[in-house]
Amino acid sequence: MTTTQEFEAIVAAARTAFASASTPADLENAKAQYVGKSGRITELMKGLATLSVEEKKSRGAAINQAKQAIEAALTERRQALADAELAAQLRAEALDVSLPGRIREPGGLHPVSLTLERIEQIFASMGFDVADGPEIESDWHSFTSLNNPPNHPARSMQDTFYVDIDGDDGIPYNLRPHTSPMQVRYAHQHIKRYADAVKRGEPMPEIRVIAPGRTYRVDSDATHSPMFHQCEGLWLGENVSFKDLKVVFTDFCRTFFESDDLALRFRPSFFPFTEPSAEIDIQFQSGPLAGRWLEVAGSGQVHPAVVRNMGLDPEKHIGFAFGMGPDRLTMLRYGVSDLRLFFDGDIRFLRQFR
Q: Which residues bind ligand DAH (CB under 6 A)?
A: 178, 180, 232, 271, 274, 298-300, 321-323
Q: 180 vs 330, which CB is nearer to ligand DAH?
A: 180
- CB of 352 vs ligand DAH, minimal distance in Å: 29
CB closer to ligand DAH, 14 vs 278: 278
Q: Which is nearer to ligand DAH, 11 or 278 (CB)?
A: 278
Q: How far is the CB of 297 from ligand DAH (least distance, A)?
A: 7
Residue 48: how many other CB atoms lie within 10 Å = 13
Rounded CA-CA distance 283/296 in Å is 10
Length of the chain: 354
In the chain, the amino acid numbered 157 is: M
The 3-state DSSP class for residue 272 equals coil
**Minimum CB distance to ligand DAH smaller for 111 or for 323:** 323
> Residue 235: which of 307, 179, 327 has the closest Cα?
307
User: What sign does the dihedral 51-55-57-60 (CA atoms) show?
Assistant: negative
To the nearest whole angstrom, how small is the minimum distance from the Cβ of residue 302 to ligand DAH? 7
3-class SS of residue 139: helix
Q: Which is nearer to ligand DAH, 173 or 271 (CB)?
A: 271
Amino acid at 263: A
The CB-of-254 to ligand DAH minimum distance in angstroms stands at: 21
CB 298, min distance to ligand DAH, A: 3
Question: What letter represents residue 307's amino acid?
Answer: V
* Closest residue by Cα to residue 181 from 220, 129, 213, 145: 145
Q: Which is nearer to ligand DAH, 73 or 210 (CB)?
A: 210
Of 75, 123, 88, the residue nearest 235 (C-alpha): 123
φ and ψ at 340, to 5 degrees?
Answer: -65, -25
* CA geometry: angle 330, 332, 334, nearest 5 deg: 65
CB 233 within 8 A of CB 256: no
The closest of 187, 242, 177 to 209, measured between CA atoms, is: 187
Least separation, in Å, of the C-beta of 170 and ligand DAH?
25
Name the residue nearer to ligand DAH (CB basis): 253 or 321. 321
The three-state (H, E, C) secondary structure of 1-52, written as one string: CCHHHHHHHHHHHHHHHHHHCCCHHHHHHHHHHHHCCCCHHHHHHHHHHHCC
Q: Which is nearer to ligand DAH, 160 or 299 (CB)?
A: 299
Report how far Cα 48 is from the mean position of its chain's Cα atoms: 88
**In whole angstroms, how close is the CB of 179 to ligand DAH at the nearest point?**
7
Cis peptide before 276 (omega within 30 of 0): yes
Q: Of 232 and 327, which CB lies nearer to ligand DAH in the complex structure? A: 232
CB 176 to ligand DAH: min, Å:
10
C-beta of 202: minimal distance to ligand DAH in Å? 28
- CA distance to 141, 167, 172, 190, 308, per residue, from 164 (Å): 17, 10, 6, 30, 30
